[in-house]
Structure 1
Amino acid sequence: MGSFAERLINAREKKNLTQKQLAEKLGITPTRLNYWEKGKREPNIEMIGKLAEALDVSPDSLMGWEYYDRQNADQIKTIHKYLNFNEFLEQAGYIVKENILKWHWEDEDDPFQRVQVPDEWEIVLSKDGHEATFTEKEFDDLQSSAKAFAIAVIEGKFFKRVVEQQK
């Protein structure tokens, strides 16, 4: 199945999109997409959802995940929709704001290719007059924890239903 980077390149090429075209669809810089395709970084869960939508593939295929029951495809799409972490937080009443702390220019000498690339950012969550700031890594850890919990709950309910239906 290959790496995430290989699956991303394959999906982009199947849609006959250049890196620049896909980056424009996603509202990101081509350099950021290039980092993902070279395996230097991986996108967060929110961006995986956007990538999947832009490339007309499922998020699980981009991630290399396999699911047990293809009959639940609609339920899986719904789950992925809610795994869009920022959207999930906003539905829970949080305001999500990203602040770029450090950035640099790539292709600075070429005015047509010059892109501003964020190097470090923080995420600020606000709710009910309270605010909490997370580094990118801390926010990624928060997303991973929430996702792992959601998957554990889903798998628990799935296997419970399997056992019930086998009786």
Structure 2
Amino acid sequence: MLIVGSQEATEAIRYMSFAPLIAGMRELTTTILWAADQKKAPLVGLLVGLICSAIAAYHLTAIPGFGYAGVAISAFILEITSLLWNALIIQKRCKGAFPVMTLLAYLTFLASIGFLNVPFENFLFYIGIESRTMQSLGSMLFFIGCIALFLLLRFWGRGSFRRYR
């Protein structure tokens, strides 16, 4: 509310919390391609991402009540499309250098945390925690717990992520 001036943007901003992760991965793959003397591939991927993002923004923001979410989704599409383009070029150039399936599994797990946060907040309200401060604290602890679970599965566990290696 303080930044945008509208309560409608809350969900869109929440879903964009993973955009820095995707943007960082895109930047990493761009740097890898530049180091491999593939300077045009990231530019082409970014242009394809821009086109997909513009098409998505044009159609999604026109849906009534979907304006802010449409903008967030279109920005996410830009980053995802560019990342996938770069990943495919790296995978084609160096077989096994960029484990696409492993990264997709990690990304799916991490993105599900954002989508599970809203039902968790509803559950907190259902069990009688009506204080907004306590709900925020509960959501933060839920997020930290999910990230800790991810780290355990990734680095120490023998969980389902290991089979993608």
TM (norm. structure 2) is 0.35
Structure with more contact order per residue of length (Cα contacts < 8 Å, sep ≥ 6): 2
Structure with greater strand share of residues: 1
